[in-house]
Amino acid sequence: MTKTLTFAVLHFTVAFTVTYLLTGSVLVGGAVALVEPAINTVVFYFHDKVWKRLEAKKQHALDAITA
């Protein structure tokens, strides 16, 4: 979960900065920085879980071949 939280902080910062630079609006930058990364953080958490499951299956298949 720590990895996910640090990713969230980084993503909030990038989202705000890019949106602010494009619009010049602190309000729009703040709104985008709250909504988009929050959704992306949840998606990333599940992506990471699926990725680990796929890696485990791959390792299990390799173990079966070498056994």
CA 34 to chain centre: 14
Measured distance CA(19)–CA(44) in Å, rounded: 21
What is the value of pTM for the model shown? 0.56
**What is residue 20's predicted lDDT score, i.e. its pLDDT?**
96
Q: What is the per-residue DSSP string for 14-57?
A: HHHHHHHHHH--HHHHHHHHHHHHHHHHHHHHHHHHHHHHHHHH
Distant-in-sequence, close-in-space partners of 26: CB < 8 Å, separation ≥ 6 = 20
- 57: which 2 tokens? 């299956």
The predicted-structure confidence for 12-38, as pLDDT tens digits, reads as follows 899 999 999 999 999 999 999 989 878
